[in-house]
A and B are shown apart, each in its own frame.
Chain A
Amino acid sequence: MLKSQRQKDFVFDSVIYVVLFIIMLTMLYPFYYVLIASFNKGSDSLLGGVYLWPRNFTLENYRVFMDDPKWVKAFLVSVLRTVSGTLLGLLLTSIVAYGLSHRDLLFSKVYFTVIVFAMYFSGGLIPYYVVLRSLGLLNSFAVYIIPSMLSTFFLLIAISFFREIPAELKESAHIDGAGELTIFFRIILPVSTPVLATMALFMGVGQWNSWLDSAYFVQSEELRTLAFRMMEVINKSNSPMDSLAVANSASAGVTSFSLQVTSMVVSIVPIICVYPFLQKYFVSGIMLGSVKG
């Protein structure tokens, strides 16, 4: 009886594992394909049939891609905006969320109405551009940071997280003589790593991938981001060259497709490297044991 139960469990588990494995493959394979295509000679990829590993290994795609010193600068700008944008965004969003999470806050209904309205409706690109211009943010590094410092969506998530924190925590800190800022920075933030990590990840990815602000609101070449430079490569590879020119350049091995997949790899890798380090913070239950009694 027990044995047959175990057998059933084994079969059931095997089926689940097989299904999950297939799902994992369908998720991972496109990434893998982009990776091998970026290491394969472009003109060879056009012939099709490259599925498992590069048939005609080359680093030429990366050489052409990185040939431009602009890339290093763009990479630094992207790193800087991602780090500073994420940190400042976290700080402001969590401060505002903490304030709004107080249930006895005056006019809280009004504030929430404003926030929810702002989350669903926006003025559109042109009014936004005009606002940025009148604030003097155009063509400056600040345009990457300031507008995205407060995200209404994360604000709501953080508010509901802070409301889950037992009031006794704050009260016991008060009794021990801590002020609001001390409570926020030394008690509330340390027990909020799950929500902070989640917000940091999404804000960071958003900052890293953002190219629109670099395209529309910045003209200085010094301030261009990596994502913008990649858009440039993809745009240029759509250049309507005549077919003779295409044939000539394809014989050199690099094609528009191979450049596009290379730019994808370059943009994905840093985020994939950061992800595992944030993963460990997605741990619920961090609050357990924080309240004695």
Chain B
Amino acid sequence: MNKSRSFKIVAAALSMAVVLSACGGNGGNTAQPAPSGSPDAAAGGNAPAKPGQVKELSLFIDASWYPVTEWKGPVADMITEKTGVKLKVTVATDDKQLPLMIASGDLPDLVFTSSNVDRLSDSKLSYSWNELIEKYAPDFKIDKTRIAIHTMDDGNFYTVRNSFATQEEMKNSKYSLGSDGNPGIAVREDILKELGNPPIKTLDDFVKVLGMVKEKYPEMVPLIMDKDWIEQYFLAQFGTETLLDGWYEQDGKVEYAIRQPKMLDFFKFMNSLYRNGYILAENFALANDQIDDQYATGGKAFAHSHTVSTADTDNIKIKSNQGNFSFKMLPSVLSKDAKVVSSGLGFSGTFITKKNKDPEASIKFIQYLASDEGKKLTMFGVEGVHWTWNEEGHPDFKYNPSDADFVNSNGIKWWYLYNDGVTEGMLSYVPELQKTQALMDLKSIRIYKPEIGLIQTQPDSQEKTIKTKIDEMVKNEKVKIYLAESEEAAVAAYENMLKNAENIGLQKLTDWANATYQKKKELFK
């Protein structure tokens, strides 16, 4: 009797355990196919709204750092007023969340992503913009270049990334300058004065001044460089057209950066800076991007290589530390060869998923954001409240565009689900900042080649493996060139780096890149 009673209890407990262990992520084979269209908040289980009502669409933002997480504030309200659409926003917690949603089929109405553009550009997951435009918004015109960049192998395009501008568009907009992510060097004004204000119009002039600093102020570091901004400024001066891990184009063919003849001149120059004692060897081993700032703002360095806003940023810090010196920017162009090639394709694009409950409202919503009025509203704020249009062709801001708290709390800039580099680039036009002039200088030597940006290795492909190996090797070998004891040793180390790249498979990679390049170039015709 006892036995039978305990058996009942154990059997009951076990049956419960078996049911629950299925929920414990243990036996994954019990999964039932989910009923299609199962209600789920992220996938927006609401029925389409009636005409005249405000429609709510769900939006997933695939960027865990995104500073705005709710559809609120004057910009969002105004967009809703103009389009009849409001958004229910979910910001990703990490980069695995969107792949999980894709795999399980639980997609929201809209997805805004940068790293999953290729994955979502798929007729099984998203509506193509071209079919929606044809059906619901025939007067929504997108230029040829943007369409070419986003056209997939099936002939459709599923999104258009923001933050992109063509050469033509940038040329026509004098006040659109680009972002903070551009290289610049700032130097100490007081020390220059003590040296008798020697002119700095060429790279040689700059090197001469570094020599004077070393001689007169031996305890000072002539040039300190941020760990992420070591090469870019000088690469631009040598006119290399690319960073160390990119492609450059010559006579219709592409080649890998390190093969460029100008690269050797650049490496010799960097090596000479080291051999003359103008830069520190440990600068190449810095693990933290604050150390160079401490050198500069603590008065231990003469020149500081970082971005175009280096002087402005350093001066704010020096002021708050009660320092009595200041930095000014070097010109962004110190040689006749200087050149910057922009091969960027933009930042993020919005997808209208197949789970979308109102594709018509969605494409019209994007069409409004793509209009001149929509782009300015998103990027600058509400006209008359946050800015007024200057007849010169730029906004006059009533707030400081660098005040992140104000910008984020008002939802300015971040709803750029469709925008372009021209409008976004005007946020940088703040005449009283040194950064503005530096960006204007850079703009004068910038060339746009988006077709090079389309040479993208696919995940898990053989090309990607080769490229990753080469880039990793260059990362290690370049420091040996910079720190070589003589110019001959530097040249030998450079040649050794090329040989290593050949051994890893550089030629194979280049052949693939050229084939891709020729195919992508066709799209732009």
Contacts and interface: CB of A to CB of B under 8 A. Distances in A.
B313 A247 contact: yes
A111 B18 CA distance: 9
A98 B13 CA distance: 9
Given A98-B13, A133-B106, A239 B28 contact: no
Contacts of B104: 126, 129-130, 133
A201 to B, nearest CB: 20
B10 A100 contact: yes
Contact of B93 (A105, A115, A211, A251): A211
Interface in A138-165: 138-139, 146-152, 155
Contacts of B6: 99, 102, 180
A244 B93 contact: no
A130 B14 contact: no
A122 B28 contact: yes
A92 interface: yes
Interface residues of B, number: 68
A123 B13 contact: no
Interface string B92-105: 01101100100110
Contacts of B402: 242, 244-245, 248
Interface string B52-94: 0000000000001111010000000000000000000011011
Contacts of B69: 232
A126 B25 contact: no
A154 B103 CA distance: 32
A228 interface: yes
A250 B17 CA distance: 53
Interface stretch (A10-18, A73-81, A214-222, A279-287): A214-222
A131 B435 CA distance: 54
Nearest to A98: B13
Interface in A240-281: 240-251
A91 B366 CA distance: 53
B524 interface: no
B10 A131 contact: no
A276 B410 CA distance: 46
Given A47-B294, A125-B100, A152 B40 contact: no
A244 B313 contact: yes
Interface in A94-117: 95-96, 98-100, 102, 104-106, 111, 114-115
Contact of A118 (B21, B106, B312): B21
Contacts of B40: 133, 138-139, 219
Interface in A153-198: 155, 174, 179-181
Nearest to B291: A48
Contacts of B312: 244, 247
Given A123-B29, A131-B23, A215-B94, A100 B14 contact: yes
Contact of A146 (B23, B28, B313): B23
Contacts, number: 181
Given A179-B5, A242-B179, A215 B27 contact: no
B309 A244 contact: yes
Interface string B304-333: 001101101100110010000000000000
A129 B21 contact: no
A50 interface: no
Interface in B382-421: 400, 402-405, 407
B25 A216 contact: no
A40 interface: no
B22 interface: yes
Nearest to B312: A244
Interface string A190-213: 000000000000000000000100
Nearest to B403: A248
A46 interface: yes
Contacts of B435: 244
Nearest to A139: B41
A52 B93 CA distance: 34
B58 to A, nearest CB: 8
A245 to B, nearest CB: 4
Contact of A150 (B10, B17, B27, B28): B17
B56 to A, nearest CB: 13
B317 A228 contact: no
A134 B32 contact: yes
Contacts of B29: 123, 127
A83 interface: no
Looking at B10, B41, B405, the one whose CB has the most chain A CB atoms below 10 A away is B10
Nearest to B102: A126
A96 B14 contact: yes
Nearest to A123: B28
Contacts of B25: 122-123, 128, 131, 147
Contacts of B181: 242
A137 interface: yes
Contacts of B179: 242
Nearest to A111: B14
Nearest to B180: A242
A127 B24 CA distance: 11
B38 interface: yes
A247 B293 CA distance: 11
A180 B21 contact: no
A122 B26 contact: yes
Contacts of A148: 24
Contacts of B33: 134
Nearest to A143: B23
A43 interface: yes
Contacts of A179: 5
10 contacts: A102-B10, A126-B103, A129-B104, A131-B23, A149-B24, A150-B21, A232-B69, A235-B64, A243-B307, A248-B402
Given A129-B104, A216-B93, 5 more contacts: A98-B13, A114-B21, A115-B21, A131-B31, A147-B20
Interface of A: 43, 46-47, 92, 95-96, 98-100, 102, 104-106, 111, 114-115, 118-119, 121-135, 137-139, 146-152, 155, 174, 179-181, 211, 215-216, 219-220, 228, 231-232, 235-236, 238-251
